[in-house]
Amino acid sequence: MPASRFSTRPGSGTVTASPSLADRIEDLLPQTQCTKCGYNGCRPYAQAVADGTAGYNQCPPGGSEGVARLASLLGKPIIPLNPANGAERPRPLAVIDENVCIGCTLCMQACPVDAIVGAPKQLHTVLADGCTGCDLCVAPCPVDCIAMVPVTGTATGWDAWTPRQADAARQRHAQRNARLARERDAAERRSATRRAATAAPAASNADVGSTSAAIPAIQAIAATQDDAAARKQAIVQAALERARKKKEALAAQGLGPRNVSNVRPAVQAQIDAAQARRRRLGLASDEGATCTSNEHAAADPKPGIVAAPERSAKSVEPNPQDEDRKPHAGA
């Protein structure tokens, strides 16, 4: 092990990993935040390399030159890029097909550097200067309208990416993490406020009148939230149906999506995970995936209209008049 990886904590005989090594490793990473290394961002990967729990050849965007830089820092031999993490390639740019995009915002949520702008039910756009080519927006897209287009010719690795771009990507990633933290804190405060409003009347019996008056208000708030969630789900379902029909029309013209052929196993695994996540969120019916009768019943709903749930066979009673109209045997 190189001596630079370790330092002795003042006042003790404990030898610990140098706290600055992870920073120095992170400075040598391209900051695409693509997670191809197996970690949730460049910083966690840098920390894992510094701790000796990850190899220094797991960053495809950095390529062979990135491996050489890390090897020089760590005092280790230059080794090939680990193919399990991906291949070195020209840097791509995410391009959204505006004819297919349904404005679901899933790609915006997946982008690690907030390089996609848009709004629910509106066309999304990729900020070319901010896109790191990480591919993370491709798998969550329910209509496969995102293509990764190479934009650096034959240049790969650090030849396709500059230190200035890496620093800008790191800053955007930090800003995104800060934004998500603020949103989580705000959501937790709202949740705590709702819990307090629900628990306070039940905990105090001093003022029965005020408690009785508070319960309808709380129930009204809950009903409003449920209605909003139902409307949102209906809108998404209708948008997905419109996109499905549009995709069928484009496929009939030979203009299908460009990013669904020769899918790598890792990308297919992300797609499968995204589909499972959408089913958990209620964006796809698990029953519809196993019941062919439900699939045929919901095959062609009109755009913007959510099909009513099927009634079970037990809930349908025979009509005596229908029985009379049936032909009798031997008639």
Question: What kind and span of H or E run contains 95?
Answer: strand 92-96
Tell me phi and psi for residue 77, to 5 degrees.
Answer: -70, 155
Residue 239 φ then ψ, to 5°: -65, -40
Judge whether residue 98 has pLDDT over 80. yes
In a domain, 161, yes or no: no
Asked whether residue 68 is domain-assigned, the answer is: yes
Residue 219 inside a domain? The answer is no
- Across the chain, what does the average pLDDT equal? 78
Residue 14 has pLDDT above 50, yes or no: no
And the tokens for 291? 């019941």
Expressed as residue numbers, the domain containing 7 is 3-85
| DSSP summary character for residue 328 | P
Mean pLDDT of the 286-290 span: 42
Could you report the per-residue pLDDT of 246-283, keeping only the tens digit for each?
777 777 776 655 555 566 777 778 778 877 877 777 65
Number of domain units in the chain: 1
Could you tell me which residues are beta bridge partners of residue 147?
Answer: 95
**Tokens matching residue 31:** 């900051």
Residue 301 belongs to some domain of the structure: no
How many whole angstroms separate alpha carbon 29 and alpha carbon 49? 11
Cβ-Cβ contacts under 8 Å for 256 (sequence gap 6 or more):
247, 250
Exposed, middle or buried: residue 285 (CB in 10 Å: 0-12, 13-18, 19+)?
middle
* Helical H segments across the chain, by residue range: 21-27, 42-51, 63-74, 106-110, 163-203, 208-252, 265-280, 286-290, 292-297, 320-325
Q: 39 lies in a domain?
A: yes
Domain for residue 107, yes or no?
Answer: no
At 90, is the secondary structure helix, strand, or coil?
A: strand
Task: Grade residue 298 by pLDDT with cuts at 50, 70 and 90.
Answer: very low
- Is position 13 within any domain? yes
- Asked if residues 103 and 120 have their Cβ atoms less than 8 Å apart, the reply is yes
Question: What letter does residue 159 receive in the DSSP assignment?
Answer: G
Q: Which run of H or E residues covers position 126?
A: strand 125-126
pTM for this prediction: 0.57
**Model confidence at 324: pLDDT above 80:** no
- Condensed to tens digits (0 to 9), the pLDDT of residues 24-45 reads 999 999 999 999 999 999 999 9
**DSSP conformation class of 327:** P
Q: How confident is the model at residue 136 (pLDDT cuts 50, 70, 90)?
A: very high
Residue whose C-alpha is closest to residue 139's, from 278, 271, 279:
271
pLDDT bucket at 140, cuts 50 / 70 / 90: very high
Q: What would the mean pLDDT of 70-94 be, rounded to a whole number? A: 96
pLDDT tens for residues 173-212?
999 999 999 999 999 999 888 888 887 766 665 555 555 5
Residue 47 maps to a domain = yes
The CA–CA distances, whole Å, from 323 to 71, 314, 320, 328, 329 equal: 84, 17, 5, 10, 13
The mean-pLDDT minimum among 68-72, 103-107, 231-235 falls in 231-235
- Residue 85, exposed/middle/buried by CB under 10 A (0-12, 13-18, 19+)? middle
CA 305: distance to chain centroid?
27
Q: Note whether 62 and 87 are within 8 A (CB).
A: no
Could you tell me the CA-to-CA distances from 186 to 29, 106, 193, 225, 228 in Å, in that order? 33, 21, 11, 17, 19
CATH of the domain at 61: 1.10.15.40
